[in-house]
Amino acid sequence: MGVIELLDSIFLQTLINGLLLGALYALIAMGLTLIFGVMRIINLAHGEFTILGAYATYWTCVILGINPMLSLVVSVPLGALLGLIVYFALTRRIVYAPELTSLLVFFGLSMILQNIMLLLWKADIRGLPTTYPSIVLGGITIIGDRLIAAITALIVSLILLLFLKYSYLGRAIRAVVQDFEAAPLVGINVHVIYALSMCIGLALTSAGGSLLALTTPFTPYVSGVYTLYSFLVVVLGGLGNPIGSLLGGLIVGVAISFTATYWLAGISPTVAFVLLVLILLFKPEGIFSRRR
């Protein structure tokens, strides 16, 4: 294999890895963008809920010895239940408060959740063994676990988009996003939609955490990294824009993959942070934002 062919092979391998990773980031970020779009709540505990989903999958597989994909039956309802608890315990009280209030409340919640995870499971690195065989195409290797996780993430994201576009509850959610004051005039119970959005948002986040456990080792300490990546995806795609989050997730995944291949893997969060700052400075409405 010549030098040019080797470089092309490395480039394509990095691009494929980035797209597979980006699909997963997009799913995780969709929970964040849905909650913000409906309630204008800034969930700084998003990464902790993601890691909780990863632990749900890990312990389900360890205890029951089942395929990690089947653990979604546990992690998704668990995320929805947590959403219901968080809404009635916290969010309902601050939904109309200034956005700084939600920042402080959910920052405190993130600290509580991270320390609970450390207390229960310590800082040991957890991970699941390889489940699906890899696919080799020429000089390109597609890791089976990442491929299955990415396909599942895209399917779940598509289901969410179809739900928001065509179902009655989805249209009600979009109506509340457009004007929460006018929505009750057409018979929409705003607080029911708020609770439903929190449940769906954390269920998506938990599902993303489950798929994360299938592809990447994790500890409670990495939760902040996934909060950062999710905010970057959401800001890149436009706040409250699920389709933008899907595209933004793919871009972020590719950027992180190329950083790890051609620079240093450990500096990926720094690159993500720099990108976040640049977008906020020059395109705060997001690259894929919808004009109103």
Whether residue 41 is predicted with pLDDT greater than 60 in this model: the reply is yes
Q: Is residue 290 part of a domain?
A: no
Output the pLDDT for position 20.
Answer: 94
pLDDT at 292: 43
Does residue 273 belong to any structural domain of this protein? Answer: yes
Instruction: Write out 75-110 in H/E/C secondary structure.
Output: HHHHHHHHHHHHHHHHHHHHCCCCHHHHHHHHHHHH
pLDDT at 1: 52
Question: Does 37 map to a domain?
Answer: yes
Region 5-10: mean pLDDT is: 68
Q: Is 290's pLDDT higher than 80?
A: no
The Cβ of residue 192 has, within 10 Å, a number of other Cβ atoms equal to 12
- 216 occurs within a structural domain: yes
Residue 2: per-residue pLDDT: 57
pTM, two decimal places:
0.92
Q: Which domain holds residue 140?
A: 3-282
- The CATH number covering residue 86 comes to 1.10.3470
Q: Which residues of 113-132 are buried (b: 16+ CB within 10 A; e: fewer)?
A: bbeebeeeeeeeebebeeeb
* Domain count of the fold of the chain: 1
Residue 226 inside a domain? The answer is yes
| Average pLDDT value over all residues in the chain | 89
The answer to the question of residue 176 being in a domain is yes
The confidence score (pLDDT) of residue 285 equals: 74
Q: Is residue 291 part of a domain?
A: no
pLDDT at site 4: 57
SS (H, E, C) 107-166: HHHHHHHHHHHHHHHCCCCECCCCCCCCEEECCEEECHHHHHHHHHHHHHHHHHHHHHHH
Confidence of residue 281 (pLDDT cuts 50, 70, 90): confident
